[in-house]
Amino acid sequence: MRIAGRGLVNRDKPVSFTFDGRRYDGFAGDTVASAMLANGQRLMGRSFKYHRPRGVLSAGSEEPNALVTTGVGPASEPNVRATMQEIYEGLAVRSQNAWPSLDLDLMAVNDLASPFLGAGFYYKTFMWPRKFWKHVYEPVIRRAAGLGRLSGGPNADAYEKAYAFCDLLVIGAGPAGLMAALVAARAGADVILAGEDALMGGRLNAENEHVDGQPGHAWAAGVVAELATMDNVRLMPRTTVTGVYDGGMFSALERVNQHRARRGEGAPLECFWRIAAKQSILAAGALERPVAFANNDRPGIMTAGAVRAYLTRWGVAPGKQVAVFGNNDDAHRTARDLAAAGVHVAAVIDSREGVSMEGADFPVLRGAVVCNASGRKELESVTIRTAGGEHKIQADCLAMSGGWNPSLHLTCHLGGRPTWEPDIHAFVPTPGAVPGMHVAGACNGTFSTHGCLAAGVAAAENALEALGRKPEPMDLPQADDAPYNLKPLWSVPGKGRAWLDFQNDVCVKDVQQAAAENFRSAEHMKRYTTQGMAPDQGKNSNVAALAVLADATGRGIAETGTTTFRPPYTPVAIAAMGAGGQGKGFAPERLTTSHAASLAMGAPMVEAGLWYRPSYFPRGQERNWRQSCDREVGFVRKTVGVCDVSTLGKIDIQGPDSAKLLDLVYTNKFSTLKVGKVRYGLMLREDGFVMDDGTCARLGETHYLMTTTTGAAGEVMRHLEFVTQCLHPEWQVHLTSVTEQWAQFAVAGPKSRELLNGLLEQPIDNDSFPFMACGSERLGGVAARLFRISFSGEHAYEITVPARYGAALFDLLVARAEALEGGAYGMEALNVLRLEKGHITHAEIDGRATAGDIGMERMVSDAKDCIGKTMSERPGLRDPERGQLVGLRPVGAVKQLTAGAFLFEAGAEARRENAQGYTTSVGFSPDIGTFIGLAFVMRGRQRHGEVMRMVDHLREIEAEVEICAPVFVDPEGGRARG
C-alpha cells in the first residue's frame, strides 16, 4: 500500500492501467511493479519450469520473476519486466506462462512432479526412442516451456537504429556516474550519460540519505538539471548499454516510447544505438543477491534493496508485517527505513553473531537464519532457526540481503575475467579488461555513497587525462560513508527446495546434484542445470550458485571460477537490432530510368542484384507469361525488340596504362583493340575460375569503357581497384563507375538499324558501323554512344544516353519498335534469346567453371600473362573429365527440362555416384519449338548426339535428353554481322 508523503511519484497525476483485464490505479512515475504492490497485489507471474506463483524479487532490470506481456495484438510484447515498465493511461498488462489464469495455473502440476524434473531431467528423459522426439517430446516441451509468447503477427511497432559519438560514455547514472559525468562535462568533454532507469540518480532515489546537505534524490536531480543545460552533454535516460565491442564501440537500447500510449507518426518504440566513445566509465552499480533457503521464491520475498526502493522511490510499503533477513548492515538500514515510514517490522534476522543494533524498537535476532517460508500465492510466515531451535513468525513480506554483486558484466564482453575480492565476498572487474574503460563505484565494489562519489571523480579525472583535458577543481559533496560489514551466507541448509535461479527454476540441490554427477566446472554446471541461462543471464544467481558448487566440490569460489558474460546485458528485441530492415528497408532499390514506363506497361518486376527489371510485358489477350515471352522473342528474331540494359556495370577506364590493366585482367588482349571497336572479354579469378564476362570498348587511345554483368559489377570494380592499388600502384590509370550516368538500351533484331536510322542525326550502314563497332552519335539533340553488340545473336545495337534522357529514349524506342511490329522485351525473353545462342550468364559461370568448361580455353591468350592464367593450367582444371558446356533438347515423351537437374547415362540408376552432369539454364525456345537447355556434362563436347536421362529429384521430373552443341540458332553467327 501507498504511504502518505513518501516517494517520488507524482501524486497529482493518477494513472490507471489494467492487469489481466482488471483495472489498477497508480501515479505517474510508477512502474507496473510498484503500482501493483501499492494495490496490495503480489502475484505477478509463474515460474518457467514448475509454474510456481511468483512476485517481484527486485526493483530493476535484473527482475527474474515479474515478466509480463504488454500491449495487444501484433503490438504486444512478451517478457517485459514489470519492474521496468512505467505505467501510462490505458496500459494493458497480461500475465504469462500461466493457464488458464495466473491465479489458477494448471501447469503448476509440474511443481508436484519436481522430484522428476531436476537437473539433467531433459538429458536423461528425452533420450529414446528417437521417433518420440518429433511427435511426443518436442510438442510437450514446446507447450510447457518458454516464457512469453509472440503475437504471431508482423510486429506493428516502429524501431530505429542510430549512431552516436562522444569523448566519454558514462554508463550508469547513480552517484558515481553522475559525479563522473559532471566532472567530465565541466572540463569540456563531449559526454553521453546513459542510465537504464527513467529517473537518473540510481540508489540515491532509493535510499534515505543526504548528499551535500540535500536528500539524495534532490542532489541527483540538481546534477541532472545542470548537465541538461550543457551543449556538450547528451543525457540518455531509459537507455541500457547492452554490449561492449572492439575499438570503443558500445551497443545500447533506448526505450523511447515504451512509457507512452500515444506515440505519434513514425515514432519508434525503441532505438538501438551504436555508440563510439574514446573513453568510457562504467558506473553500473551493483545487484543485491538473495539468500537460498527453502521456498525463498514465495511472493512477498524480495531483496532488501528492492524493499527500500519501493518505500523511498515509490512510497509503497511492500507488506504490512515485514521481516528483514540479512548477513550485512543493509538489513539494519532496511529495518530502520521501514520503521521510520511507519511500517511494522516483524523482526530483523541477522545471520551474524554479536552485531549491535541500537535504538531498534523491533526484535533483532542475531546468529539466526530464515530456513523456510509458508504461503503459496502470498507469503504468510517465515520459519526462523536460531541456536535454540526453529519457530515461525508472521510476515507478509521478507526483505533479504545476501550482500551485493558488482555489475561488472560489461567488463567481460571483450573476454575479461573478473577477480574474486575476498573483502567483500564478490567478484570485481579486473583492471584493464576493456581498453579505455574506467570502473567506478558499486560496480567496482565501492558500496558507500561517499565512496561512489569519490570514485566517480577519480574515474572522470583518469578519462580526462586520456582525452588530454584538465578537470576543474571541485569539492566532493558530503555523503554517507556507512560500512558494509558482510559475513558470507549463500544458502541455509535444510530440507526443501531452495532457489538460486528463480527464472530458470534452479535450486541448491540441482547444483549439488550436478557436482555429484561430476559436472564440476562452472561451465558444465551451468549447462547441466541451466542456471544462468534464462533471460536474466544469472544476474541474481551466478555467484551464489558458484558458492554452492564450490562448497559441493570442496573448492574456493575464486578457484571454481565464473562463467562468461556476453552481450546483451539485458534482452534486446530482434526488431530493435534489425530496425529499418523490414519491407523496403531491407536493401536499397535501384530503379532504371524506364522503371515507371515498365510498370505502366504492366510488367512484373524481378530483382537482379539490387536492380528491378521487367520480367515481360503482358498484352491483352495473353493468358500467361510464356505467351508474352514467346512473342517478345519473336520481336527480336523477326522484327525489332527494345530492352533496358542499363543495369550492366559500366566502368570508365582512363590513363596511359589502361591497356596494360585490361591485358592483365582479361584473358584476351585489349591493347590490340582498335579505337572505335568493341571486344568480348573473359575475366578469371586468380585461382583460375571464371569471374565475369562482358564487352569492353576502346573509346580513345587511353580510354576504355568496360561492361560487366549486372550481378558482378561491384565485385569487378573491387577487383580492378585491387589490381591497380595493390599489384600495380605505379600504373597511371583511373577507374570510374559510370553505371548510373548512362541509360542503355538494346535495340535488337533484323529491323534494328532501320529503327535507329529513323532517330540518329547521322544514319549508319554496315560499312560505317559494322559488327563490334562503337562510336559517338547524336539523336534528339543529345550526345549518345552506340555499340554494335549482340547478346541475342541478331543484328543488334546498344545505345546509351545520359540518364536524364533515359525515360524519354525508352518511350521513343518502344514506340518506334512497335511501329515496326516489334516492341519491348523483358528478362524472360532476354534469357531465351541468349539460351538459343548458348551465351553464358552467372547460371553457368557460377564460380566453379573454368574457361575450358565453357569452351573458351582459346580465349586465354598464350601471348601474355593474365590474372588466373597460371592457376588455370593446373591439371585438375584441364581434366577432360570435367563438366563441359553442352546444349540439351528433349527427345522422349517428357518435353519439360528444369535447371538444376542431374544427368545420367541412359539406363543408369539416378544416384549421386552415377551423375554425369547437371543442367544450368533452361527455357522454351519458340524457334526450336521445344524446351532447350544448357548443361555441364563430363567430356560433353565429345558426346553430342548421346541420349541421357535428366532427373530432377526435387521436382520429380525425368526426361530423355539429347546432348548437342550449345548454339541452337544461327550457329554461323551470320545474323549479327548482317
Q: Which helix (H) or strand (E) holds 276?
A: strand 270-282
Q: What is the DSSP string of 8-51?
A: SSEEEEEEEEEETTEEEEEEET-BHHHHHHHTT----EE-TTT-
Distance in Å, CB of 582 to other proteins, minimum: 11
Q: Name which of 274 and 344 has its Cβ closer to other proteins.
A: 274
Distance in Å, CB of 756 to other proteins, minimum: 12
Q: Name which of 843 and 871 has its Cβ closer to other proteins.
A: 871
Q: Please name every residue paired with 918 in a beta bridge, in sequence order, or none if there are none.
A: 902, 936
Q: Name which of 685 and 941 has its Cβ closer to other proteins.
A: 685
Q: Name which of 603 and 885 has its Cβ closer to other proteins.
A: 603
Distance in Å, CB of 901 to other proteins, minimum: 32
Distance (Å, rounded) from C-alpha 739 to C-alpha 537?
Answer: 50
Distance in Å, CB of 774 to other proteins, minimum: 17
Alpha-carbon distances, residue 686 vs 451, 486, 665, 719 (angstroms): 63, 67, 9, 10
Q: Name which of 779 and 950 has its Cβ closer to other proteins.
A: 779
Distance in Å, CB of 777 to other proteins, minimum: 13
Alpha-carbon distances, residue 169 vs 249, 268, 280, 440, 447 (angstroms): 10, 23, 5, 13, 22
Convert 798-836 into a string of H (helix), E (strand) and C (coil). Answer: EEEEEHHHHHHHHHHHHHHHHHCCCEECCHHHHHHHHHH
Distance (Å, rounded) from C-alpha 632 to C-alpha 135?
Answer: 52
Q: Please name every residue paired with 80 in a beta bridge, in sequence order, or none if there are none.
A: 68
Q: Name which of 491 and 709 has its Cβ closer to other proteins.
A: 709
Distance in Å, CB of 867 to other proteins, minimum: 9
Q: What is the DSSP string of 251-294?
A: EEEE-SSTT-S---TT--SEEEEEEEEEEEEE---EEE---B-B
How do strand 782-787 and strand 796-802 relate by DSSP bridges?
A: antiparallel
Q: Name which of 686 and 958 has its Cβ closer to other proteins.
A: 686
Dihedral over Cα of 574, 578, 583, 586: its sign = negative
Q: Name which of 160 and 818 has its Cβ closer to other proteins.
A: 160
**Dihedral (Cα; 20, 24, 29, 31), 10-degree rounding:** -30
900: nearest Cα among 890, 914, 915:
915
Q: Which helix (H) or strand (E) holds 177?
A: helix 175-186
Query: What count of residues does the chain have?
Result: 978
Distance in Å, CB of 29 to other proteins, minimum: 21
Q: What are phi and psi of 496, to 5 degrees?
A: 90, 165
Distance in Å, CB of 414 to other proteins, minimum: 7
868: nearest Cα among 679, 683, 659:
683
295: nearest Cα among 564, 529, 89, 54:
54
Distance (Å, rounded) from C-alpha 647 to C-alpha 335?
Answer: 75
Please report where in the chains the cell 483485464 appears, as a residue. Answer: 21
Grid cell of 357 as nine digits? 543494533
Distance in Å, CB of 593 to other proteins, minimum: 7
Residue 608 is classified by DSSP as E
Distance (Å, rounded) from C-alpha 749 to C-alpha 822?
Answer: 9
Q: Name which of 149 and 718 has its Cβ closer to other proteins.
A: 718
Task: Answer for the pair 768, 818: CB distance below 8 angstroms, yes or no.
Answer: no
Q: Name which of 164 and 317 has its Cβ closer to other proteins.
A: 164
Distance in Å, CB of 566 to other proteins, minimum: 15
Q: Please name every residue paired with 824 in a beta bridge, in sequence order, or none if there are none.
A: 642
Q: Name which of 277 and 544 has its Cβ closer to other proteins.
A: 277
Distance in Å, CB of 93 to other proteins, minimum: 24
Q: Name which of 662 and 735 has its Cβ closer to other proteins.
A: 735
Distance in Å, CB of 513 to other proteins, minimum: 37
Distance in Å, CB of 871 to other proteins, minimum: 6
**Dihedral (Cα; 345, 349, 352, 357), 10-degree rounding:** 20
Distance (Å, rounded) from C-alpha 438 to C-alpha 281?
Answer: 5
Q: Name which of 317 and 579 has its Cβ closer to other proteins.
A: 579
Alpha-carbon distances, residue 250 vs 186, 247, 410 (angstroms): 24, 9, 10
Q: Name which of 688 and 966 has its Cβ closer to other proteins.
A: 688
Q: Which helix (H) or strand (E) holds 458?
A: helix 449-467
Distance in Å, CB of 803 to other proteins, minimum: 4
Task: Answer for the pair 498, 296: CB distance below 8 angstroms, yes or no.
Answer: yes
711: nearest Cα among 695, 725, 693:
693
Distance in Å, CB of 431 to other proteins, minimum: 15
Q: Name which of 59 and 784 has its Cβ closer to other proteins.
A: 784
Please report where in the chains the cell 543525457 appears, as a residue. Answer: 235
Distance in Å, CB of 667 to other proteins, minimum: 13
Alpha helices in 24-152 (DSSP H): 32-38, 109-112, 121-125, 132, 138-144
How do strand 506-507 and strand 499-501 relate by DSSP bridges?
A: antiparallel
Distance in Å, CB of 346 to other proteins, minimum: 48
Q: Name which of 150 and 587 has its Cβ closer to other proteins.
A: 587
Say how many C-beta atoms besides its own lie within 10 A of residue 863's C-beta: 8
Q: Name which of 115 and 729 has its Cβ closer to other proteins.
A: 729
